[in-house]
Amino acid sequence: MMINRRKMLQGMAAAAVATPLLPSLAQAASDKDKPKRVIFFLQNNGFHTNTCIPTGMKKNASLSGAKLPQSIKPLEPYLDKINIINGLHGLHTTPTHSAYYGALGGYPGGEHRGPSAETIDYTLSNLLPQTILPHLRIGMGDLSSMDRQPAVTALSASGAGKPLYMHCNPNHLYQTLFGSI
């Protein structure tokens, strides 16, 4: 069963808002001060699920004992702390390869369309407890394009017409984060 991305994003936002109300959090008081992270992996020009979905995973399920594909194998020590959401699609966001802002916004997007609303990554970053490092948006590409364009806007937004920059040059990002140390 395919889940509509808009419904999934709405559900994730609702879950993020409702989470503090769950009684089970009272038992996890020791975990209360631990930082929470949400990571979105996006591949604009097509996505091969076999690069980040464990073999045989057909629906959302426990990752306990899962064997991760090579591209995300370094995450195996943290399987008890992560979730992989499988089965999303963006058919309503664009008829072509990339929805740009629509990918995280759940709305129609495309190469020459600016954001029409905030994106789920921005929404969640404001709902979760603040950490030392801010809401980071990191992109990558071939080295020559990362040097020519160290920051781009294309995926994340704080509202309609308010794109957020994505750091695409690892050296530039390092200097931004740790340059004064």
Bigger pLDDT: 135 or 29? 135
With 0.75 as the threshold, say if the pTM is over it. no
Q: Sketch the domain layout of the chain as residue ranges.
A: 3-12+36-178
Identify the CA nearest to 77 among candidates 68, 86, 85. Answer: 68
The full 3-state SS of 63-128, as one line of letters, equals CCCCCCCHHHHHHHHHHHHCCCCCCEECCCCCCCCCCCHHHHHCCCCCCCCCCCCCCHHHHHHHHC
pLDDT band at 158 (very low <50, low <70, confident <90, very high): very high
pLDDT per residue over 42-57, tens digit each? 765 666 777 888 877 8
What integer best gives the mean pLDDT of the chain? 76
What pairs with residue 88 in β-bridges? 3
Which is higher by pLDDT, 161 or 43? 161
Label the pairing between strands 88-89 and 3-4.
Answer: parallel
Q: Which of 85, 86, 53, 87 is nearest to 70 (CA)?
A: 53
Give the confidence band of 157 by pLDDT, cuts at 50, 70, 90.
very high
